[in-house]
Chains A and B, each alone.
Chain A
Amino acid sequence: MASIRKLEWKVGGQQGEGIDSTGEIMTKTLFRYGYYVTTYKQFMSRIKGGHTNYKLRATEHPTRHAGDDVDILIALDEETLTVNRSELVPGAIVIMEGKDVNIAEVEDYILATFPLKAIATELGNPLAKNMIALGMTGALISLPVEEFYTFIEEQFAKKGKAVIDSNKAAVDKGYSLVQEHLKDHVKTLEAVPKNPDRLYISGNEATAFGSFMAGCRFLSAYPITPASEIMEWMSVHLPAVGGTIMQVEDEIAGITFAIGASFAGARAMTSTSGPGLSLKTEAFGLAALSETPIVIVDSQRAGPSTGLPTKHEQSDLYHMLFGTHGEIPRIVLYPSSIEDAFYVAAEAFNLAEMYQCPVFVALDLALSMNRTTTPRIDASRVVINRGKIVTPEEAQKYGEFIFKRYRFTEDGISPRALPGNPYGVHTTSSNEHGEDGYITEDPEIRTKIMQKRLGKIKTARLSRPYYVVDGDAPVMLVGVGSVRGVIEEVKARLAEEGIQVGGLFIQQLHPLPVEEIAPYLTDKTVITVENNYYGQLLNWLKIHFPIHASSHKITQYDGNPFKVGRVYHEVKELIQDVRRTQATHA
């Protein structure tokens, strides 16, 4: 029996058929079995009907990409096969809902149809057809059936023994169907050491968790895909620590409620996606001018306007970097992995309070919604720092009737007195103001306070503003967010062929750590890989580095994340082109 050390598996069907939970069970089972898992969910902006699928890649070593291929496809309808046919590897097995049991070699794959629904009905539970399919998957990779049992017992604990038993029976049936009809195709997914020190978590969950641990106690937002899960997670956990979420009337309220809470002294945030970010835009300036800390999470989806509401894109970079009228201090962060989402979110609250300005945390749909294996949280990586908040004693020393909230200081950051402090009374204003917070139109003060406000963020640094691998390579692949996963795979594939490329994954986009990343961008071929049309990341880099002649972009804006194969081919071609040009010039 052939043994394998990785599995790429997909389940697809109509929305409302439980595709998502089927995928979750399979994934979590292999996660606990000791494999590293990465996933990608494809779904449409409707609740019932329409094709949806769930992709799982299980590997021995960590990866950040759900893979291009499919070894086993569970197709609950024919459309699933049509849509995903191109991903099947030679020898792939397709288990499809059909009238009769039939096993056939079609082209280069095995098409096995089973009347799954009828079999499930016969077992007394038509809903269990997905469990039968899971059992068949388990059998095809020789997974001990107990691995499913544990999960079922946990999952259905509340529903009682009858439900547990009927699900177990469905899984058993899947195993026996394979023994009966597909025995020759059974392989063994090698057992790997189980490791309890890992998490199975999504980017949204990691972002919420990180924010929570950093002391965020207030989140106001308006529901929107793919950001809602952040609000939902916080909703469960905040009340126990004296905080709350608020689902408010619109996104403008989302950000302005949070600004109010922050003004009053709470660590506060709002979470949204593109359309909501557009609505919040005027308030970026309110936070910036009033120097009120605020964390804004933008879980990007494909725009513009309503766009492709359930699809992936990275096209809000310009908006986060430049959005709102006038000129404002801001910090823009973008975790390059689900693991980093925790730390970046947590640090965002420190930076917001230390620099008293809006901090954006960019995510993208692939990063937000899909779960993966990560190491456990390293609690020592973030220390809460609330910045310059003055106590009553400290405020009293100034002896001011009106506390100078915008006091000129060396670093441009003024001590902040929170409401309730008897010696810190002041007004803060969205109008231009002087040190005392009162409105002024004096040109000298205006110039000075603009310089203070815009200059103060220069030193802001995430503890890991970027990741670099093989920084001395002549070609650098540069990306943000979930694209890191693609670049890492492409890099590894090229390395196998002896082609050396480096990877630069920028986590702090504004202020860009120019000096720190300069060595990886100058005198090299720079290729950005990004999910947008304009090459927003590349254009942002071009503002800071003289790379106009030496840079290229690989873009995709069809709503889907990159496939590794496509980027690999394009990078290879670009490298050959560059070499050819260099040869001609030489």
Chain B
Amino acid sequence: MSVELKQPTLKDFKGDTSTWCPGCGHFSVMAGLQRALVNLGIHPHEVITVTGIGCSSKISEYTRTYGFHTIHGRALPVAQGAKMAAPEMHVIAAGGDGDGYGIGAGHFVHAVRRNIDLTYLVMDNSIYGLTKGQTSPRSQHDFVSKTTIKGNKEYPLDALSIAIANGATFVAQAFSGDVKRMTEMIEKAIQHKGFSLVNIFSPCVTYNKVNTYDYYRDHLVTIDEPLSTREEAIRVLKEHGGNVQGILFVEERDDFQKQLGIDWKMRDIENGPMDEQMIRELEKEFM
């Protein structure tokens, strides 16, 4: 059936009513994502949004697309599977720093090196929000929380350098207090062919009193152009203690599915008898 499609508007993306705390950084991330999709002329039914579990992961409930709010840490594998089956869809994976870099860290590094064409938005508040304020893999050294009462003795995970070092083809970092820049980065990430990572500083106003809006306003250094080599990008991150916003590194290279060169038809199975001729052909292997 041919469908007459109007230009999408923000209203089309309005999902369930949010339950985030007033002032939570995740609101702006959601606004940025929806705005980016509208700007790109993408309709809700052309998007699959897969999230894990956490305050941040509720973005798939509050944004009207084909959403899949999955289980803790598994947004990336579900999103990658969805993209494999439906390459014509735009796939967004999203979730928190705990979801992506803690319980889901194993999937993260492999998604990076696999380079399936999807956009991964990590809403990084350096805390476990939904479980009410425990230390996360992104919490700073000596960060005090209910689970690190004498301060966090681990050092925060440098997810961006991991991604860059492992062949990521699009790595950016944004701040939900700077919606305009963030939206531009999300747009570019969606347009990028391959795995695109946007780590977004998204303050938790309720539980993280260190990584606040003011903290980022004071500390963030903006870079206007992607760096030319991976080494350079990692060096710049290190130099500023990770407090950088902008697109850090981009490389154009064939994504996973393109490299396989398969004429994807996974969804085309129709009701009816099995293909007898194919059975007879394949049986020869067993004779």
Residue numbers of A with Cβ under 8 A of B are 196, 198-201, 205, 209, 212-215, 217-218, 220, 237, 239, 241-244, 246, 248-250, 252-253, 256-268, 282-283, 285-286, 290, 346, 376-377, 379-380, 382-386, 391-393, 401-402, 418-431, 437-439
Contact = CB atoms under 8 A, between A and B. Distances in A.
Nearest to B274: A213
Contacts of A401: 64
30 contacts: A199-B287, A213-B274, A242-B262, A244-B262, A248-B110, A252-B74, A253-B77, A256-B81, A257-B77, A257-B84, A259-B70, A260-B78, A260-B82, A261-B84, A262-B81, A263-B82, A264-B89, A266-B85, A266-B86, A268-B81, A384-B269, A391-B1, A393-B1, A419-B66, A419-B86, A424-B45, A427-B64, A429-B61, A429-B67, A430-B70
B80 interface: yes
Contacts of B74: 252, 256, 283, 286
A3 to B, nearest CB: 27
B263 A242 contact: yes
Given A264-B48, A384-B270, A386-B269, A213 B60 contact: no
Given A209-B282, A384-B270, A431 B81 contact: no
A392 B3 contact: yes
Contacts of A252: 74, 77, 106-107
B231 interface: no
Contacts of A383: 271-274
Nearest to B276: A379
B271 A249 contact: no
Interface residues of B, number: 61
Contacts of A260: 50, 68, 77-85
A244 B260 contact: yes
B44 interface: yes
Contacts of A257: 77-78, 80-81, 84
Contacts of A214: 274
Interface of B: 1, 3, 5, 15-16, 43-46, 48, 50, 53, 58, 60-61, 64-71, 74, 77-86, 88-89, 106-107, 110, 260, 262-276, 278-279, 282-283, 286-287
Q: Give the secondary structure class of B's interface.
A: mixed
Contacts of B69: 427-431, 439
Contacts, number: 221
B275 to A, nearest CB: 7
Contacts of B273: 379-380, 383-384
B265 A243 contact: yes
A400 B76 CA distance: 29
Nearest to B16: A438
A430 B86 contact: no
Contact of A377 (B15, B79, B279): B279
A318 B74 CA distance: 25
Nearest to A238: B262
A201 B287 CA distance: 8
B81 A421 contact: no
Contacts of A246: 84
B287 A438 contact: no
Given A200-B287, A242-B266, A438-B61, A259 B271 contact: no
A427 B82 contact: no
Contacts of B16: 427, 438-439
B10 to A, nearest CB: 14
A242 B269 CA distance: 11
Contacts of B79: 260
Nearest to A282: B71
A386 B271 CA distance: 6
Instruction: Give the 3 A-B CB pairs with smallest separation, nearest first.
Output: A260-B81, A242-B265, A427-B67
B267 A253 contact: no
A402 to B, nearest CB: 7
Contacts of B107: 249, 252-253
A237 B1 CA distance: 32
A237 B281 CA distance: 12
Contacts of B278: 213
A313 to B, nearest CB: 27
A367 B74 CA distance: 32
